[in-house]
Amino acid sequence: MINKSVLLILPAQDFNEQEYLIITNALERAGIKIFIASDANTLCVGSGGLKVKNDIQFYNIHESNFGGIIFIGGKGTRNYWNNPRLHSTAQNFVKKRKLVGAICSAPVILAKAGLITECATCYEEDKKELEKEGVEYKDTPVVINKNIITAQNPASASEFIKLFLHELAKRNN
């Protein structure tokens, strides 16, 4: 069965609006239904004030409802690096062989969850956090390892989402 839904994890405060807009626009154009998950009660607020309605609380995420998950970056993402509920959520997506993506500061969440064991990319300022987890930092816009895709920053968001959609389509065929 083709799953045409993707879950986006947004920080309650200070998510990167450019990454969010590039990724959601591409998903919508591809006919993918988007759900937002956060620990925000109602609205997530971006770094420039953009407000996005939260659909799902972290405790209510069921990976079987989605074809993949994307962790959006931004300064607020750093508050989630050590979030055990998000670590567990990401681990469950990987166990079910679902597609997992993370951009900017968000790949650190996956590294701290023990899901990235080889190499990845992330926002350059955060590369030491990846390396602390034993992950080799790659200075490249996008890295794919099995079912995990990581990207550096807003400038790599278009390349990231094209690869994510390509991989999602392969898994749904």
pLDDT tens digit sequence for 112-127: 999 998 999 999 999 9
The CATH number given to whatever domain includes residue 15 is 3.40.50.880
Structural domain range at position 113:
5-171
Please count the structural domains in the chain: 1
Per residue in 147-163, pLDDT (tens digit) is 999 999 999 999 999 99
Indicate if the pLDDT at residue 2 is higher than 60: no
Per residue in 55-111, pLDDT (tens digit) is 999 999 999 999 999 999 999 999 999 999 999 999 999 999 999 999 999 999 999
Sign of the CA dihedral with 47 first, then 134, 139, and 69 last = negative
- What is the DSSP track for 81-113? TT-HHHHHHHHHHHHTT-EEEEETTTHHHHHHT
Report the predicted TM-score, pTM, of the whole model to 2 decimal places: 0.96
